[in-house]
Structure 1
Amino acid sequence: MQEKQLTTDAKGHFLNTNQGFSADGQWLVYDTRNDDSKIISTGSIEMVNVATGEIKALYHTKNQSEYGPGVGAVSFSPVANRVIFIQGIRNANEKNPYGFTRRTGVAIDIDKPEQPIYMDARDITEPFTAGALRGGTHAHSWSGDGKWISFTYNDFVIEQLSKTNHDVKDLRTVGVMFPRKVNVADDLEGENNSGEMFSVVVTKVTENRKPGSDDIDKAFDECWIGKKGYKKADGNWQERAIAFQGNVIDENGVQKTEVFVVDLSADLSTAITGEKLEGTANSRPVVPNGVKQRRITFTKEGILGPRHWLRSSPDGTNIAFLSKDKTGFINAFMVSPNGGTVKQVTFNQFDIQSGLNFSPNGRYISYVAQQAIYITNVVTGKTIALTPSATENNKPVSAVLWSPDGNLLAYNRFVENSEGKNLQIFLLPVISELL
C-alpha cells in the first residue's frame, strides 16, 4: 500500500473529522485552513477529485478579514451533492468577531457554487422565533439518510446575560435541525437570518450539577447512532438517536466525561406544556417534547485522550470512544447504545493520537497513532500500521476518513515547502484482508 499526495498547492486543505467524501466517493471537500483554530480568518471552501486532483472552488466569504466571517469544518451529505459548513455571522468585525455564539450552518449545492443556503435560522431579537436559535451552531453532521443535521450549540442571548447575572452561564449543548422553513425578519445589522431547517436543542444542561448524578453542564462532540438508528433493549427500533459526551461530577466532586444518548421522536417542533421552545430573554431554548436523555457509561476514568467525536457503527450496535486502559494507554472502547458492559477494542501499548472512524461495513476503525495511520479489526482486535511513523514536521493530522466503498482512506499531513508548510490531503488504498 502506497500513499498518494492528492493536493500540492501552497495553502491549507483541512479535512473535517468525518463525512469528507461525496456520496459517490469521487470528491473530497475541505476548507483552506492550515490551523484548526483559524476558522475566523479562513474564507473559502473547495473540493478535490480523488482520481484526477482537479480542484473546484465552492464558496468564498464576502468582506473576509482577520475578524471573520470565516468558514470551516465542511461535511458532504451522504446522499446528495450538497455540503454544509460553519460560517461566522455576516457582519463580523473587530467589535463583533467570529465566536462560539456568532456562527451558523451554511450549505452549498456543488452545481451552484457561491450561492449560500442558510440552513439554521438565527434570531437574537425579541420576540424570539420557534425553530430559530439565538447563537452559534458548529460541527454539523448529516444523519444517515441526509435529512437531519446535528450540531453543537452556544447561545448568544445567554452569553450576554451571563455578563450581568453570574448565576447564568452559556453552556455548550447539542441540537438538531430538520427540513422545515423558518422565516425570521432580516435586520440591518445582518445578525438574523431565515433558514431552510427547523432547529432545536436536544440535550439538557444545567449550571447546578449534583455530585453523583447524571446532571451535565456541557454536551458536545456527538454522533448519529447508526445509519438508520438502533434496536432498543425492548426490541423496538429507534429511528433517530444521538450519542454525545457529557460532563458529570462524581461523588467525590471530580469532573469526568461520560457517554449519553438522546432518543428523538419524529416531530420535535413542540415544547413541553408551559415552556417556550425558543427560550426567553432570561432562559435558554428548551428541549422539545419527545426527547429522552440518558447516561449509558459509568466508567472509572471517563472519556480521555485527544479531542474526538463519538462514532457509531453503521448498524447502530456500538458507540466508540477513547479512554485510558488499565496499562495507562489511550485506546478505543465501545458500548451499546442501550448501555451495559464497555468493551475495549484496541490494546495498543501506545496512545491513539486522533479521533476514530468506522469503515462503511463496520468491521474496522481508523485512527492516527505513533504518527502513523492505523486500522483495527473491532471483532478480533488485530491492529496494523498502514504507514511508517512520520516526523513531527510531516505527521498525519486529525482523523482518518473512509471512502463510501471502504477501499480508500483520506487524511491530512503537513508538507514543507520553501514558504513554510501546508496541510495537504493524502490518500491510501486499503486492503482489508490484511486483518
Structure 2
Amino acid sequence: MKQITFAPRNHQLTNTRTWTADSQWLAFDVRPSGASFTGETIERVNVDTGEVEVIYRATNGAHVGVVTVHPAENKYLFIHGPQHPDTHWQYDFHHRQGVIAEQGQVSNLDAMDITEPFTPGALRGGSHVHVYSPDGQYVSFTYNDHVLHEYDPKLDLRNVGVAAPFGPVIPQGEHPRNYGGTFWSVLISRTTPTPKPGSDEINRAYEEGWVGNDRLAFIGDTLAADGEKVPELFIVDLPKDELGWKQAGDLPLQGTADRMPAPPAGVMQHRLTFTHDHRYPGLVNVPRHWVRSNPQATQIAFLMRDDKGVVQLWLIAPEGGAPRQLTHNDSDIQSAFNWHPAGHSLGFVLEERIACCDAASGKVTYLTSDHGNPPSGEAVVYSPDGRYLAWMEEVSGFRQLWVTETGC
C-alpha cells in the first residue's frame, strides 16, 4: 500500500466514482471533516506521480464538496453551496445544488424554482451525492425540499431523484435564489411522514445505487408493527424515453406548496427485502453504506446483521427473492463497499484492514496490514481498471489518500 497525498489538510473521497476513467487520477474535496461543509476547492491527484491539480475553486462565499467523476469523460460532478450566503440562505440540506465541471467550464446540473407556480423538471431544494449511471447519461442524487422545510419541516423528507439529459430547465419564478439547470430533474421515490406500521410505506429514501442504467435501488425506512424503524431495500424501474421522464403521474412532478414533488407516471417503488421478523431486522445504517449492484446488474449488495448480530454482506437479485448471506465473518464489516469493475469481488474494511471478498464464495482476502491508523469507513473505491483500491486514512491528524494493488 502507498500514501499518495501528503499536504497538511484533509482529503475527502466520495463513496463511489472517485477515479477518472483512465485510472490515473483520484478526485477529492478538502472539507475539514466529512460533516463540515467548508471546503473551497475540488481537486485531483495522480496516483503514480502525486501531482495535484485544482479542478474548481469556489467564490463569493460558497463551498463545494462530494465530487464524483463521469465513467468515460473528464467531467466532475459535485455539490455547490450558495453563493453570497446570508442569514436567510445558507448551506443546508435543502440549500445546495449539483454542478458539472468540464474543461474549466461549470454548469448547473439541476434547476431550482421555489416560487409558485413551480416548474416541472426543476427542484425546489437541495440535491446531494450526485452519481452518474454506468453509461454516463443520467445522474442520481438524494434530495431535501426548501418549500416544505419552510411550510412544515416534518414534511421535508429525504428522497431520491434522477437528473435526465432532457433540459435545459428554466424556472418560471423570479426569486433571486432560483436558477436554471442543464438536466431535467425529478424524484423517483415516494415517502410519507406517517408510514403505516407493517406496510411498504417509507418516510425516508436514501443511499441509492444504480442497477444497470434503467433501475435504481435505495434504502427506505419502514415501520415495524410495533412502530420501530426498519430500513429495507427498494428498487424502481426508470422511464425509457424523454416522454416518460416528463409525463406526470397522479401528482405533479414539481409538487405543490404542501406536497413533495412526485415521480413520473409509472415509476413505482418495489420492496425487495422483508426483514421485520428477523432477529436483527433491517439493513444497517452503521457503518453508513450505499447499496451497490454488480456491473452485470444481476446482484445488489447491502449490509445487514446475521443471526449472531454481525454485520455481513448480503446479495439479492433485482427481481427479488430471498437474500443470500455472502460473508460469514466473525466481526463486523466496518465500511461502505464497492464492486470490482469485473464483478467478481467486493472491497471494504474488515478488522481495520483493507479486504476483498469473492462474490461467489464470500472468501475474504486481506490486501493490507499494519496500518498506522484505521482506514476510514466512508469510502473504499476500486479504480476502473481494477488494479487499485483507494481509501482515506489519518496521518499526523489529517486525512490522507492511500491506494493498494488488488492483484486482479
TM-score (norm 2): 0.94
* One-letter identity of the residue aligned with 1:45: I
Matches within 5 A, 1:170-249: 170-179=156-165, 180-184=167-171, 187=174, 189=176, 191-226=177-212, 228=213, 240-249=214-223
CA shift for structure 1 position 290? 2.7
Instruction: Give the structure 2 partner of residue 317 of structure 1.
Output: 298
Q: C-alpha distance in 1, partners of 2:228/2:8? A: 46
8 Å Cα contact 1:10/1:422 also seen in 2? yes
- For residue 268 of structure 1, give the secondary structure of its aligned residue in structure 2: helix
Query: Which of 26, 46, 49 is residue 24 of structure 2 equivalent to?
Result: 26
* One-letter identity of the residue aligned with 1:206: T
Q: C-alpha distance in 1, partners of 2:87/2:41? A: 20
1:296 aligns with 2:293: no
1:268 aligns with 2:248: no
* One-letter identity of the residue aligned with 2:141: F
8 Å Cα contact 1:12/1:424 also seen in 2? yes
8 Å Cα contact 1:223/1:309 also seen in 2? yes
1:142 aligns with 2:132: yes
CA shift for structure 1 position 352? 0.9
Instruction: Give the structure 2 partner of residue 84 of structure 1.
Output: 77
Matches within 5 A, 1:25-424: 25-39=23-37, 41-64=38-61, 69-109=62-102, 111-112=103-104, 115-162=105-152, 169-179=155-165, 180-184=167-171, 187=174, 189=176, 191-226=177-212, 228=213, 240-266=214-240, 267-272=244-249, 275-299=251-275, 300=278, 301-304=281-284, 305-388=286-369, 390=371, 393=373, 395-416=375-396, 421-424=397-400
The alpha-carbon distance between structure 1 residues 276 and 395, as it changes in their structure 2 partners (threshold 3 A), is closer
CA shift for structure 1 position 126? 1.7
Q: C-alpha distance in 1, partners of 2:375/2:86? A: 35
User: Mean alpha-carbon deviation: is it higher for 378-387 or for 352-361?
Assistant: 378-387
User: Mean alpha-carbon deviation: is it higher for 17-26 or for 381-390?
Assistant: 381-390
Q: C-alpha distance in 2, partners of 1:27/1:5? A: 14
Give CA deviations for 1:209-255 in whole Å, capped at 9, x if unaligned.
Answer: 111110000000000103x4xxxxxxxxxxx0100000001222221
8 Å Cα contact 2:302/2:314 also seen in 1? yes
Give CA deviations for 1:265-284 in whole Å, capped at 9, x if unaligned.
Answer: 122111025x3211121221
Unaligned regions of 5+ residues in structure 2, if any?
A: none
Q: C-alpha distance in 1, partners of 2:145/2:311? A: 33
CA shift for structure 1 position 405? 1.0
- For residue 362 of structure 1, give the secondary structure of its aligned residue in structure 2: coil
* One-letter identity of the residue aligned with 1:248: T
User: Mean alpha-carbon deviation: is it higher for 87-96 or for 259-268?
Assistant: 87-96
Moved over 3 A (4+): 185-189, 393-397
User: Mean alpha-carbon deviation: is it higher for 215-224 or for 248-257?
Assistant: 248-257
Percent of matched pairs sharing the same residue = 39
Q: C-alpha distance in 2, partners of 1:324/1:159? A: 34
Unaligned regions of 5+ residues in structure 1, if any?
A: 229-239
CA shift for structure 1 position 96? 2.5
Q: C-alpha distance in 1, partners of 2:247/2:151? A: 25
CA shift for structure 1 position 389? 5.0
Give CA deviations for 1:274-299 in whole Å, capped at 9, x if unaligned.
Answer: x3211121221111113121101002
Q: C-alpha distance in 2, partners of 1:122/1:389? A: 48
- For residue 374 of structure 1, give the secondary structure of its aligned residue in structure 2: strand
Pairwise CA RMSD of aligned residues? 1.5
The alpha-carbon distance between structure 1 residues 394 and 248, as it changes in their structure 2 partners (threshold 3 A), is closer
- For residue 168 of structure 2, give the secondary structure of its aligned residue in structure 1: strand
